[in-house]
């Protein structure tokens, strides 16, 4: 492929699990991609190494205190160094054919939205942006002619089998869930589980926050909200089905009874490769699916009592307004406190529930409102933390 046909790509959150898998694929297909900008929050060494290895134009570190170190590491390499929120936004706006949005949490909202406003193609891993500002984001996508390609494996699966021209014929989206490391456990047995146990996901290797979200099943709840914003279906048409093998990544049921699914080994490089190559396809170094070896696939209903977070997220979707943003912010505070050993596992759901009950805010009309809601919910959740402290 000639240089003129190389896809220009930027990665927001290049040092994370999704960011690194994206770079792994680019590394195997160097002739197809030109890396434009790479960003990270605090891992300067990894960011500089990737920027040099991939001859990026620009490397941005979120934490401004680390700019000197980044500049020093990039001296003489030809890679520009920058830091801070404005620089993150500039990185997202650098002309590119595709922007991988892989920052974790609401922190990814501003840069992702900046890329959307450039009308480019966004490979969206950062689900929290759609949870806290889904309506605003999708409006901007429409207005700016941007394309959102879902990287989250469930949504990527649905995207591959969803007939957008016949969306009225869709009866149901069925989001599959592995159930996480605590599948089958009763609620009262979960009080003492540790962060190390919670991040040890049976099927997927992911960042710490999403791993805890998978253990509480908040991840599936966030994904129900994400699905609502990505696909033209009613809120009550999105179901969750526990499927511990994570082979069927999700399904779409049509009115004639046909159920279409996408299957594959649980490796994020498949949905990432789909997004990078779209509308074509490319090779991904993933284990090919051997159904004969797997033997059987199993399914069960989720346990909404043990995994209260899943129920709370669904309630937040139906409540609408500020509820999803409050849910997301409280969850981010709670997960950080759990990972820091300050609160127990079941306190995550309890803290989110109490924050939702106490933060009564109007539906966001603007991005500024979203950040007000996010900030207020974080303050509320933080102020409630001492009551939960271990």
Q: List residues near ligand NAD by CB under 6 A.
A: 13-19, 40-41, 43, 62, 88, 102-104, 107, 125-128, 152, 204, 206-207, 209-210, 268
Binding site for Mg ion (CB under 5 A): 152-154
Smallest gap from Cβ 79 to ligand NAD, in A, equals 17
Which pair of structure tokens corresponds to residue 239?
């179901």
Smallest gap from Cβ 129 to ligand NAD, in A, equals 8
Cβ atoms of residues 105 and 196 within 8 Å: no
- 18 touches, from ligand NAD, Mg ion, none (C-beta below 5 to 8 Å by class): ligand NAD
- 104 touches, from ligand NAD, Mg ion, none (C-beta below 5 to 8 Å by class): ligand NAD
Residue 45 DSSP class: H
- 107 touches, from ligand NAD, Mg ion, none (C-beta below 5 to 8 Å by class): ligand NAD
- 210 touches, from ligand NAD, Mg ion, none (C-beta below 5 to 8 Å by class): ligand NAD
Of the pair 39, 246, the CB lying nearest Mg ion is at 246
- Separation CA 131–CA 266 (nearest Å): 24
CA atoms within 13 A on the CB side of 172: 14
Residues 6+ apart with CB under 8 A from 11: 19, 22, 23, 35, 37, 38, 39, 99, 100, 102
Of the pair 266, 344, the CB lying nearest Mg ion is at 266
Of the pair 154, 267, the CB lying nearest Mg ion is at 154
- 126 touches, from Mg ion, ligand NAD, none (C-beta below 5 to 8 Å by class): ligand NAD
Ranked by CB distance to Mg ion, the top (closest) residue is: 152
Smallest gap from Cβ 12 to ligand NAD, in A, equals 7
- 15 touches, from Mg ion, ligand NAD, none (C-beta below 5 to 8 Å by class): ligand NAD
Smallest gap from Cβ 5 to ligand NAD, in A, equals 28
- Separation CA 52–CA 50 (nearest Å): 5
Smallest gap from Cβ 14 to ligand NAD, in A, equals 6
- 268 touches, from ligand NAD, Mg ion, none (C-beta below 5 to 8 Å by class): ligand NAD
Ranked by CB distance to ligand NAD, the top (closest) residue is: 16
Q: Reduced to 3 states, what is the DSSP secondary structure of residue 303? A: coil
Of the pair 202, 321, the CB lying nearest Mg ion is at 202
| 232 burial type by CB count under 10 A (0-12 exposed, 13-18 middle, 19+ buried) | exposed
CA angle 203, 205, 208 (to 5 degrees): 120
Instruction: Give the residue ranges of DSSP H helices in 231-322.
Output: 269-277, 291-294, 308-319
Smallest gap from Cβ 226 to Mg ion, in A, equals 9
Smallest gap from Cβ 369 to Mg ion, in A, equals 27
Write the CA distances from 370 to 87, 124, 135, 230, 321, integer angstroms.
21, 19, 11, 19, 10
**How many Å is the Cα radius of gyration of the chain?**
20
Of the pair 56, 129, the CB lying nearest Mg ion is at 129
The closest of 384, 342, 336 to 359, measured between CA atoms, is: 384
Which pair of structure tokens corresponds to residue 278?
């779209």
- Separation CA 262–CA 63 (nearest Å): 39
Smallest gap from Cβ 364 to ligand NAD, in A, equals 20
Q: Reduced to 3 states, what is the DSSP secondary structure of residue 158? A: helix
Which pair of structure tokens corresponds to residue 348?
């995550």
Of the pair 154, 332, the CB lying nearest Mg ion is at 154
- 304 touches, from Mg ion, ligand NAD, none (C-beta below 5 to 8 Å by class): none
Of the pair 125, 273, the CB lying nearest ligand NAD is at 125
- 267 touches, from ligand NAD, Mg ion, none (C-beta below 5 to 8 Å by class): none
Position of tokens 């770079």? 23
Of the pair 10, 17, the CB lying nearest ligand NAD is at 17
Of the pair 213, 347, the CB lying nearest ligand NAD is at 213
Smallest gap from Cβ 107 to ligand NAD, in A, equals 3
Q: Reduced to 3 states, what is the DSSP secondary structure of residue 388? A: helix
- Separation CA 276–CA 9 (nearest Å): 9
- Separation CA 183–CA 240 (nearest Å): 14
């Amino acid at each position: 492929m000639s240089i003129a046909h190389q896809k220009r790509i930027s990665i927001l959150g290049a040092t994370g699990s999704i960011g690194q898998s994206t770079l792994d694929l680019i590394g195997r297909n160097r002739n197809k991609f030109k890396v434009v900008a790479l960003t990270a929050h605090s891992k300067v060494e990894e960011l500089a190494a990737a920027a040099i290895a991939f001859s990026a134009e620009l490397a941005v570190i979120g934490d401004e205190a680390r700019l000197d170190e980044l500049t020093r590491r990039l001296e003489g390499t030809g890679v520009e160094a920058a830091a801070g929120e404005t620089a993150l936004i500039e990185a997202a706006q650098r002309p590119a054919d595709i922007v991988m949005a892989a920052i974790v949490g609401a922190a990814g909202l501003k840069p992702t939205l900046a890329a959307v406003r450039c009308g480019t193609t966004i490979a969206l891993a950062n689900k929290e942006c759609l949870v806290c500002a889904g309506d605003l984001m999708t409006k901007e996508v429409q207005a700016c002619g941007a394309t959102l390609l879902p990287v989250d494996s469930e949504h990527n699966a649905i995207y591959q089998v969803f007939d957008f021209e016949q969306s009225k014929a869709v009866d149901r989206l069925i989001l599959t869930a592995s159930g996480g490391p605590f599948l089958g456990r009763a609620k009262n047995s979960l009080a003492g589980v540790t962060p190390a146990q919670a991040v040890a996901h049976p099927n997927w290797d992911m960042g710490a926050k999403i791993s805890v979200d998978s253990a509480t099943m908040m991840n599936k709840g966030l994904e129900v909200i994400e699905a609502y914003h990505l696909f033209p279906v009613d809120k009550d048409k999105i179901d969750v089905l526990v499927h511990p093998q994570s082979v069927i990544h999700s399904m779409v049921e049509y009115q004639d009874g046909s159920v279409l699914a996408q299957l594959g080994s649980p490796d994020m490089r498949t949905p990432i490769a789909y997004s990078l190559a779209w509308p074509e396809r490319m090779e991904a170094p993933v284990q090919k699916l051997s159904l004969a070896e797997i033997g059987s696939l199993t399914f069960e209903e989720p346990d909404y009592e043990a995994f209260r977070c899943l129920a709370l997220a669904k309630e937040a979707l139906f409540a609408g307004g500020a509820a999803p943003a409050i849910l997301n912010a409280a969850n981010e505070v709670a997960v950080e406190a759990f990972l820091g050993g300050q609160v127990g596992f079941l306190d995550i759901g309890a803290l989110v529930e109490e924050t939702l009950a106490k933060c009564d805010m109007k539906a966001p009309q603007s991005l500024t409102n979203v950040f007000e809601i996010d900030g207020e919910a974080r303050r509320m959740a933080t102020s409630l933390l001492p009551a939960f402290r271990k």
